[in-house]
Chains A and B, each alone.
Chain A
């Protein structure tokens, strides 16, 4: 059931800023597989569409196949099987230099022996564009990233953020319709990264260019993307808008990878409709949404810290008795560690004014809608093979 839904959404892109008519994506991966050694697959049965003008993020832990996917799209790797199309045309036999795709690399890959201007002019000069034209376009794009005055500096003389903006300018100056970004902000510190996220997002809106963005940083993916494809073990675990992924994760992996989550371990007692009753390991029970679980099977119940309340249960809600095990002050809010009677610990988001001390008894409650029960064995990789089948 869930598996089908995931595969479906992967096949036909969700509504995006400028959806192509007829469901045919701007970029399409059809049953793409990639293996380096013939035995294990870096990417398996990948079906993914990207709409024109969309900002799609490939999110996943390292080794999940997201970078391989990007490299196949850029033309640096060839799929072992399957087809990739760009604007309806197969790019199978197209070398990277004929694909007209802009790419931004994690380490910027600026040419150290060229000035900023020469770097940005490079894609134009290899396209045999006249000198006057080159100068004006380089000027325009350097204005866009606010680096006009650094034109004759060498990349080594610029800060990390400035170098990243040069790399952006270089990837945009030849007006590609598709820009790929491979963890472009990975080398920057947190403040600068957040600033650059906004800047990239603004460029995307301004230019209407399609961007496929690779990152392992889930907050970056949520901030910038129209849609996010969560990769795990070489396939897409879930594809959807940021709030889809955050609020309705379809697997234990996505639930724990996107945002913070409490995980309670237990066993499914009984399924009634969309909900199920879960007996927690070590005592106690909760009612949760049943996401692909079977009666009698071990399961993980995922609950967001902000969905937990420190209040007696109102009608139908789950209520768990707990003792305070610690309180972490974070300025605008606090995190309370609540140890349940069965020994499992929940993190509860509480207001900055909360003052309860260690050992104090509290009741933690939440509605069944905020609890999602996933099969326990699907925690890491199992969900992917199911997605395909």
Chain B
């Protein structure tokens, strides 16, 4: 009996609360709901915060900083403060006046004193091939001080060449389009217009084209090999499918370096592949598979196969067998049924797999370096060379930026054609 009493007491109180809420504004209820929702949202954001911070610090900010070097290069401007000042009134044609020569001489000596002369020489050399040795030679002569600085400067023909001063002038501006244009084999001409660089200096357009060609060839090869295999895995019983999937993924769990090294063993002139081709009588002589385009495509196809296959497989798995049965029973011959019923349904998976492989191929570095010949180096190899060997990070950043723009544009086109929601990447 007594246990019931609290409930009896509670009830009127509860109803009083509700009537209060009713008579009070509905707005306050909505506001309370919003507050509760906000709390939930903040809590979930707090849970994701460590990841977001990590991504920003290790991924977002470094990429932005590095890419910004493609257009922002203050090295020359910082190294040549007096020259910058002296060139302010120069009209950009012919040679500047002697004051500019003197300012440059002073800047060069102060750089030598600070120990930054080599850095300056390298930076100028990136924009003006051959500048490094001239700068270092001039610095040495200035330091010797056997003659007045102006005479030293005039004595070095490099400083009186018409092409030198415009480059120095453009270097005194921290923001530059020089590297981006170079990455596309373009440059400013004397009239202030953009022109192609002479054919013997042009290189990157060809490298980009090569990169896209290799990526497209590998994508096509993985599709031709992967589609039937995905179909097989999707149609066999579950146990066998699991074994086949493991067989596909097994190489996937090995380091890309190891797999590439394995291919160098297989593709050698006296390697297994050549032995086999000879034995089968397919080839009359040993083929140059190593250091060749075809060897590169073979190795990359092997590495990329799972990336193309898995999205296709995951879509195929969702297509019920009754779909094809229905098509047959309605009078469609096998090929018609495949083309009109099966293919349209696996198309998003095919697109996703191809896109994934294509984009990954654009960034291939180790495999072309080890298996490709001198003329098979892809854009990543050039970027790496600029970063590691030439120490020209501005050029590396410019090439990366162009590559990123191409990749995003491609992704945008795919997404536009297919709709991003239909792009079944997993």
Given contacts A96-B328, A97-B328, contact A126 B322 (CB under 8 A): no
In chain A, what residue has the closest Cβ to B326? A109
Comparing A98-106, A306-314, A346-354, A372-380, the segment that makes contact with chain B is A98-106
- Contacting pair A97 B333 (CB below 8 A): yes
Near A by CB (< 8 A), chain B positions 326-365 give 326-334, 336-337, 340-341, 344-345
A347 to B344, CA, bound (A): 56
A97 to B337, CA, bound (A): 10
Please report the total number of B residues contacting A with Cβ < 8 Å. Answer: 19
- Contacting pair A97 B329 (CB below 8 A): yes
Near B by CB (< 8 A), chain A positions 356-380 give none
Q: Is A107 an interface residue (CB 8 A)?
A: yes
Chain A interface size band reads 20 to 34
Q: Is A75 an interface residue (CB 8 A)?
A: yes
- Contacting pair A109 B322 (CB below 8 A): yes
Chain A positions within 8 Å of B326 at CB level? 103, 105, 109-111
Q: Tell which of A95, A109, A180 has the most Cβ of chain B within 10 Å.
A: A109
Choose from A95, A106, A113, A174 the contact partner of B328 (Cβ within 8 Å). Answer: A95
Q: Is A122 an interface residue (CB 8 A)?
A: yes
- Contacting pair B330 A122 (CB below 8 A): yes
Chain B positions within 8 Å of A171 at CB level? 329-330
A81-103 Cβ-contact flags toward B at 8 Å (1 or 0): 00000000000000111111111
- Contacting pair B331 A127 (CB below 8 A): yes
Chain B positions within 8 Å of A107 at CB level? 320, 322
Choose from B323, B325, B340, B341 the contact partner of A76 (Cβ within 8 Å). Answer: B325
B-side interface mostly:
helix
A189 to B400, CA, bound (A): 59
A306 to B322, CA, bound (A): 42
Min CB gap A88→B, angstroms: 21
- Contacting pair B345 A122 (CB below 8 A): no
Near B by CB (< 8 A), chain A positions 105-154 give 105-107, 109-113, 122-123, 126-127
Min CB gap B236→A, angstroms: 15
In chain A, what residue has the closest Cβ to B329? A103
A32 to B409, CA, bound (A): 61
Q: Is A298 an interface residue (CB 8 A)?
A: no
Q: Is A290 an interface residue (CB 8 A)?
A: no
Chain A positions within 8 Å of B344 at CB level? 113
A-side interface mostly:
loop
- Contacting pair B332 A122 (CB below 8 A): yes
Choose from A106, A113, A174 the contact partner of B345 (Cβ within 8 Å). Answer: A113
Chain B positions within 8 Å of A170 at CB level? 330
- Contacting pair B325 A123 (CB below 8 A): no
B43-62 Cβ-contact flags toward A at 8 Å (1 or 0): 00000000000000000000
A123 to B336, CA, bound (A): 11
In chain A, what residue has the closest Cβ to B341? A111
A306-342 Cβ-contact flags toward B at 8 Å (1 or 0): 0000000000000000000000000000000000000
Q: Is A74 an interface residue (CB 8 A)?
A: yes
Chain A positions within 8 Å of B322 at CB level? 105-107, 109
Chain B positions within 8 Å of A74 at CB level? 325, 329
A180 to B329, CA, bound (A): 10
Chain B positions within 8 Å of A174 at CB level? 330-331
- Contacting pair A97 B331 (CB below 8 A): yes
What residues make up the interface of B, taking CB atoms closer than 8 Å to A? 320, 322-323, 325-334, 336-337, 340-341, 344-345
What residues make up the interface of A, taking CB atoms closer than 8 Å to B? 74-76, 95-103, 105-107, 109-113, 122-123, 126-127, 170-171, 174, 180
Residue contacts A-B, CB under 8 angstroms, 7 given: A76-B328, A96-B329, A97-B330, A97-B332, A97-B333, A106-B322, A109-B326
